[in-house]
Structure 1
Amino acid sequence: MSSKDLIERIGTKNVVIGVVGLGYVGLPLVLRFIEMGFTVLGFDIAADKVAVLNQGKSPIEHISNDRMAEAVKAGFVATTDFSRAPEADILILCVPTPLNKYREPDLSYVISTVESLLPHIRAGQMMSLESTTYPGTTAEELAPRIEGRGFTIGTDYFLVYSAEREDPGNPDFTTHTIPKVCGGHTPACRDVGVALYGSIIDRVVPVSSTQVAELTKLLENIHRAVNIGLVNEMKIVADRMGINIREVIDAAATKPFGFVPYYPGPGLGGHCIPIDPFYLTWKAREFGVSTRFIELAGEVNGAMPDYVVDKVRTALNDRCKSVKGSRILVLGIAYKPNVDDMRESPSVLIMEKLRDLGAEIFYSDPHVPVFPKMREHHFDLSSVPVTPETLAGHDCVLLATDHARFDYGMIAEHAQLIVDSRGKFDVDLDKVVSA
């Protein structure tokens, strides 16, 4: 099948979309394709997740069961059987790209996914990688494996890179309203990718290569990481000077040009911002380039959980209490407000550090009723209700994630001590310590 034939079939929606990885990136993509009239087959290695999805239920809080049920009703099927890959005309890979313990790229999920698909791919398909990664991954890791099956990329198989741009829980931007950057291994590949994504997304931005598309995604996230690092460092300076950094930021933001407000916090969270900069720093070393600016921002952001813990320790000490033996209630353990996403949450690091110092740790999060199983972090805890009695029964309340469902007025009234890492409380209150 030529690129022209595949583009024509995409235009008439006479293709089956295979989405591999049904998490925070893959599942919204599944729903968008279905809503636009495509047939979708989902792949995931987690049998329990597949079973839940096939029942028409959503494993992600901000995706409703009703939307999932409608998808199943429309013909969506999830499977763990990668031998069904030939049924799909398009294979879209939405799998994790974490760092290993040495803070180097871990492409094991991408590679294992491709290796699982390779025996089953066929001529005329398109494969798209959406996972954030370093420039060259698509050309250096995926292309040779596909060519090893005897296909000619750009002629009888098509390969593109188009990074996800999801922002879970953000009601202002959805899958179809966020512009999509797309680069192809060849111009014919790019044309197929643009046709595919253009069928479900309002604006597609074609670029000249997969490497350009890969670096674009990294630049977006490094831009955020560096600016957050800057404002976190400014927070520490302002705190020493007795100045409210959030008042400073709000005042600076009145300038109508040349300034974009970023706000400090207890550290970076989510699957992108804490991880992606290190993909570039690792790859840059191959070219003899030192990315000192990026690495410095990473150091500043990585130190913020310790900064918050020190604030808790000092605040308790000022009240003649030690961290050891204190009952500390952490408010919000998801990595950002109003979602259930725990990936790389700085709240968890803070909880561990306080526990190691001897504190008795509790948490409340309306989006995370039970502390989930995580690869590197272990707490046998469930969310406690935020009531006047609960608040008064803790030596310190630490606001780590500022969910909208928290009653901040009630918290301010009944908590004995508040350490605020999100700027939600009146810093003039004697019981509030800014962190």
Structure 2
Amino acid sequence: MTVQNVWRKLGLSDVVDTGDSPRKFVGENPRIDNNFEYDIAVIGLGPVGVRTLHKHCISKDRMLGFDVSESRLAEIAKGSTSLSLLEDKRIAHAIDEQLLTLTADPAELSKAAVVIICVPTPVPETKILDYSPLRDACRLVVDAASPGQLIVQTTTTYAGGTRELIVEPLRERSLAPGIDVHVAFSPEQTHADSSQSKNIHAPRLVGGYTTSCREAAVEFFGRGVVKLQLTYGLEAAEMTKLFETAFQTVNTALNNEFAQACTALDIPFEEVLESANLDQDTVSGFSAGSGAGGYELTIAPHRLLNQAQAHDLQLPVLEAAMNSNKHRPATVVERCARVLADLGNELSDSKVLVIGLSNQPDTTDLFGSPALQVMDLLLKSGADVGFHDHHFAGPITLGEVHVPGYPNPRDFGADLIFLNTQHSYADLSWISDADTVIDGTYRAKGVLNRVPL
């Protein structure tokens, strides 16, 4: 039995070669299809959407940025996206050069050769994912779909989500997926950021509804991605992304657990990592820290858990890992209290400076940031808290408290320094032998009075 027949038997994605050449749908750079007014439309201008815009602005594609929020469009137009200054400047330049159009009019979506869906999936207190933004975005895209378009769903979703929200509605409009309109699932690479050159070596996952859908997506992403990771069908790609994220979630929890054990046993955890041959420069998530932040590690595991629960499946390892990561910031604060006690100080009477707010080095991603959770818990413990991160001027608002940022960290007069994220160009030379530093990265070199987390 062929792979294609196995997929059909299982009721998963049909892998049918329509015979259409992807070049019919994705032409040569820099113009994807001159029959369309725009080369690419990006739906949803949150952090991932804006970075997607920025990436294609560099290649001088004719871009359409769509968001239902007029205020968000105004922020982007003014260059105040809270991302990197370089991204803001390049997007502003693209607008000036009339390469980028911002709109809240869904009718404009029909004019783009490639439509990329980048909307977020909120997680309420119930932990049951709110798919309404994704459903609304897919409905707008399907309603505006034109023959010849390539629709790429990049929002990590449950297995079967792209079929349910895009493929079947297209059929209801009498547009044949894989023939009239091509549909693919290709999630944004985890921790992707324009300043991280290492991400060009990370493969981009691509799955299509048909083989010609996949080939159209390959032709499109192949212009700027060195490696592509291909799957048969949409569901396999969706589940692959969920598996990769679940693996990172479990691995993060395990690394933090081993790091905590090493601290208790007075064993340098960084040496354990090196001895285990883990390449910290190319494998993201394989390191201990203050918790699991970022959109993927914070949100994506809930997608798999929600779907598993709907089918009466149990995923105890993933559930335990998520619970461990959730409580990691509290462990950090407990460690701060113990170190201060050894110095003869009470946490409630101390000044704690947090260095590095981002989830990953050299990014500006604060989504689910463990550093913010640590600062919030420190404040609730009565500590005086400040931060230093050259990406953020401050202040950062946590609840009703405004935490000040210190461009010159010496001005804060900290009793304890917590190194949460160490950016490549972060200057730590100001730290003296009189300072006590808890190294939450397990990688800081040359820092005096450094104690592990």
Coarse TM-score class (shorter-chain normalised): 0.7 to 0.9
Q: Could you tell me how far apart the structure 2 residues matched to 1:114 and 1:239 are?
A: 48
Contact 2:121 2:130 in 1 (8 A): yes
| Partner in structure 1 of residue 9 of structure 2 | none
| Partner in structure 2 of residue 382 of structure 1 | 404
Q: CA deviation at 1:309?
A: 0.6
Contact 2:206 2:231 in 1 (8 A): yes
Q: Could you tell me how far apart the structure 2 residues matched to 1:260 and 1:181 are?
A: 16
Question: 1:256-278 deviations in whole A, cap 9, x for unaligned?
Answer: xxx99932111111111232222
| Partner in structure 1 of residue 197 of structure 2 | 172
Contact 1:11 1:199 in 2 (8 A): no
Q: Could you tell me how far apart the structure 2 residues matched to 1:90 and 1:252 are?
A: 43
SS of match in other structure, 1:272: helix
| Partner in structure 2 of residue 141 of structure 1 | 165
| Partner in structure 2 of residue 343 of structure 1 | 367
| Partner in structure 1 of residue 451 of structure 2 | 433
- Seq. identity, %: 25
Gaps of 5+ in 2: 1-17
> Is the alpha carbon distance of 1:51 and 1:426 closer, same or farther for their aligned partners in structure 2, counting shifts above 3 Å?
closer
Q: Could you tell me how far apart the structure 2 residues matched to 1:203 and 1:423 are?
A: 30
> Is the alpha carbon distance of 1:354 and 1:110 closer, same or farther for their aligned partners in structure 2, counting shifts above 3 Å?
same
Q: Could you tell me how far apart the structure 1 residues matched to 2:230 and 2:370 are?
A: 35
Contact 1:6 1:124 in 2 (8 A): no
Contact 2:204 2:229 in 1 (8 A): yes
Corresponding letter in the other structure for 2:206: C
Q: Could you tell me how far apart the structure 2 residues matched to 1:69 and 1:388 are?
A: 35
- Pick aligned residue for 1:355 from 361, 374, 379: 379
SS of match in other structure, 2:418: strand
> Is the alpha carbon distance of 1:154 and 1:252 closer, same or farther for their aligned partners in structure 2, counting shifts above 3 Å?
closer
Q: Are positions 1:228 and 2:252 aligned together? A: yes
Correspondence list, 1:84-123, <5 A: 84-123=108-147
> Is the alpha carbon distance of 1:196 and 1:338 closer, same or farther for their aligned partners in structure 2, counting shifts above 3 Å?
closer
- Pick aligned residue for 2:355 from 305, 324, 331: 331
TM-score by length of 2: 0.83
SS of match in other structure, 1:303: helix
Q: Are positions 1:8 and 2:32 aligned together? A: no
Contact 1:98 1:271 in 2 (8 A): no
Corresponding letter in the other structure for 1:77: T
SS of match in other structure, 1:411: coil
Q: Could you tell me how far apart the structure 1 residues matched to 2:340 and 2:82 are?
A: 39
Correspondence list, 1:368-407, <5 A: 368-371=392-395, 377=399, 379-390=401-412, 393-407=413-427
Correspondence list, 1:254-273, <5 A: 262-273=286-297
Q: Could you tell me how far apart the structure 1 residues matched to 2:51 and 2:419 are?
A: 30
Q: Which moved more, 1:335-344 or 1:275-284?
A: 275-284
> Is the alpha carbon distance of 1:196 and 1:172 closer, same or farther for their aligned partners in structure 2, counting shifts above 3 Å?
closer
Q: Are positions 1:209 and 2:236 aligned together? A: no
| Partner in structure 2 of residue 39 of structure 1 | 62
Q: Could you tell me how far apart the structure 1 residues matched to 2:56 and 2:194 are?
A: 19
SS of match in other structure, 2:390: coil
Question: 1:64-112 deviations in whole A, cap 9, x for unaligned?
Answer: 4553344331522111222211222321101112433222332222112
Contact 2:185 2:237 in 1 (8 A): yes
TM-score by length of 1: 0.86
Q: Could you tell me how far apart the structure 2 residues matched to 1:399 and 1:381 are?
A: 16
Q: Are positions 1:420 and 2:436 aligned together? A: no
Question: 1:371-395 deviations in whole A, cap 9, x for unaligned?
Answer: 4568xx55423311334443xx222
- Pick aligned residue for 1:21 from 29, 44, 48: 44
SS of match in other structure, 1:160: strand
> Is the alpha carbon distance of 1:406 and 1:142 closer, same or farther for their aligned partners in structure 2, counting shifts above 3 Å?
same
Contact 2:358 2:371 in 1 (8 A): yes
Corresponding letter in the other structure for 1:107: Y
| Partner in structure 2 of residue 191 of structure 1 | 215
Q: CA deviation at 1:61?
A: 0.4
Q: Are positions 1:126 and 2:145 aligned together? A: no
Q: CA deviation at 1:18?
A: 1.1
- Pick aligned residue for 1:61 from 70, 78, 84: 84
Q: Could you tell me how far apart the structure 1 residues matched to 2:285 and 2:123 are?
A: 29
Q: CA deviation at 1:330?
A: 1.5
CA RMSD of aligned residues (A): 3.1
Q: CA deviation at 1:139?
A: 1.4
